[in-house]
Amino acid sequence: MRFRFLFLVILSLVVIVSCGPANLQTASVTETPGATNSDEVVSPWWKTAVFYEVFIRSFKDSNGDGIGDINGLIEKLDYLNDGNPATKTDLGIDAIWLMPIHPSPSYHGYDVINYYAINTEYGTMEDFERLLIEAHKRGIRIIIDMVLNHTSSQHPFFIDARSSDVSDYHDWYIWSDTGRSNYWHEISVGPSSVNYYGYFCDCMPDLNYLNPEVTAQMEKVVDFWISDVGVDGFRIDAAKHLIEEGEKVQNTQLTHDWFKQFYAFYKGIDPDVYVVGEVASSDARMTTLYSGDQMDMVFNFEAAQGFVNSAKGESNSGIGSAISFIENDAPDWNFATFLTNHDQNRVMSVLNGNVDKAKVAAALLLTSPGTPFIYYGEEIGMIGTKPDEDIRRPMQWTAGENAGFTTGIPWRLQDDNYSSVNVSSEEIEPDSLINTYKTLIDLRKTHAALSNGNYVVVETSNKGIYAALRQYSDEAVLIIINLSKTELSGVSLAWESQLIEDGNYSLTSLLGEYEASSFTISNSQVSDYIPLESISPYSVNLFVVNTDQ
């Protein structure tokens, strides 16, 4: 039988998790331009990585002062990835994004007072260098938050700048005799009162990147962390706010121009350095406007919203809407994906504590294109709603005192649910949320179609079902997810794509006990295909596609 790609019959698996009504009855086909020959293209490491976002203050306290620290993170590296591919007890992530680690007057660290040092509450530079060594031993890369837009109002540069209008650092910030909005903050400079610009608050004065000395200084900072310390990259905070143009305070042309030279700068130091930007927007076009020649990727907030909305609403309309925009605005899927992050209510709270929906959300994230980021505690179902301190609570490791986070008094109390929602309790339950994450991450790493493959949206006859086909080189995987609480029968699938040659095909499950019927591709189309007699509530089913000889 003739076919364009010979699909290997692989030892199998079908994941079954579950969630509500999803259907792409009117969805069009989306194909990402992934490579068709794995020997021809070597993807950069971040294209196939699974990231894990860590707030060090809340991850693990090693010295009993109630504040998480670098040594505590080192203690828990084997939980994240023990470096042995043969073991299945670790989470299996490939990279860590650390929220700010620099000295700061705030608990969160986004107002930096020294870009060349480590927050002493977290440890020393020697501790951090040991973290890098231990992480790299296990194959874990580390990127750090880089706050370029502003400094702390307690940074020595700003203290000097506000002392006099002839200070060497005065023009490192933005000043006005008359504040024109809430972004301006009055202050005394010498004998006069003037206003300085701080988009986020008076404690975070914006840097003036129209002054080349500021660019030179921040490039020096970036070079230090790459060349001297050895980090693998950066997450750029508030990237869209870097340079204002008149009343326009985000996504200005000057901001794009600055990041173009910044991209050339850091790639000139090391092409293997990865930079992902925070450009918060529901517009998928932002991912292409900044990526490629300004940063390697930015986070796709529209995709995140689609994943969570489909899991919560039990309908594929959320992810279907996001995909329809993505296929028009960012069809290469070159962006970072996530469910929720440190600025948003935790996904488990958004899903009202429904573990089945959390499993489905995880499956949508980890079977879709893009580079996925998991927020610490998401894998066990930690809850949290604003204020921000409550979405950044200490990690829940055990059912013991202080959830195993500290032997002291935690800087923020855990939620009362830690007696049941914790790593130790969930690891011994085969069907737990954490073991679902482990399975999905392992599948993504062992099946290139799930991490680096083309993507075809599959139309379904019921909005409770989401389906997609992913293909890379000689492997294809069919994804079928029941987003609903209802067992669904007789659901038919249809798609049009030239990724697979016309012919007859069978499916081998990647996890679970289901057997699926075979299908035929004719004129590059599949129609009225019913793979399963019934699809269990809240289930995720993954199948390898095999050619029938």
Q: Pick the catalytic residue: 53, 232, 237, 327?
A: 237
Kindly give the pairing relationship between strand 336-337 and strand 488-489. Answer: unpaired
Q: What distance lies between CA 274 and its chain's CA centroid?
A: 14
Q: How many CA atoms are closer than 13 Å to the CA of 202, on its beta-carbon side?
A: 9
> Is the Cα dihedral 512, 372, 339, 337 positive or negative?
negative
Q: Is the peptide bond before 387 cis (omega within 30 degrees of 0)?
A: yes
Residues 6+ apart with CB under 8 A from 255: 239, 240, 241, 242, 243
Backbone angles phi, psi at 544, to 5 degrees: -80, 135
H-only helix segments in 27-124? 56-59, 70-75, 77-80
Q: CA 529, CA 489: separation in Å to the nearest integer?
A: 13
Provide the token pair at 521: 């591709």
Burial of 136: CB neighbours in 10 Å, binned 0-12, 13-18, 19+: middle
Q: CA 312, CA 173: separation in Å to the nearest integer?
A: 44
Q: How many CA atoms are closer than 13 Å to the CA of 95, on its beta-carbon side?
A: 26
Tell which residue, 459, 462, 525, 518, has the closest CA to residue 491. 462
Residues 6+ apart with CB under 8 A from 222: 146, 234, 265, 266, 269
- Provide DSSP, 457-495: EEEESSTTEEEEEEEETTEEEEEEEE-SSS-EES--EEE
Q: CA 187, CA 190: separation in Å to the nearest integer?
A: 10
Q: Pick the catalytic residue: 82, 94, 145, 278?
A: 278
Residue 175, SS3 per DSSP: strand
Q: Is 278 a catalytic residue?
A: yes
> Is the Cα dihedral 320, 321, 323, 327 positive or negative?
positive
Beta-bridge mates of residue 456: 469
Tell which residue, 72, 75, 46, has the closest CA to residue 59. 72
Q: Is 127 a catalytic residue?
A: no
- In the chain, the N- to C-terminal Cα span, in Å, equals 7
User: How many angstroms separate the most distant Cα atoms in the chain?
Assistant: 87
Count of other CB atoms within 10 angstroms of residue 7: 21
Residues forming the active site: 237, 278
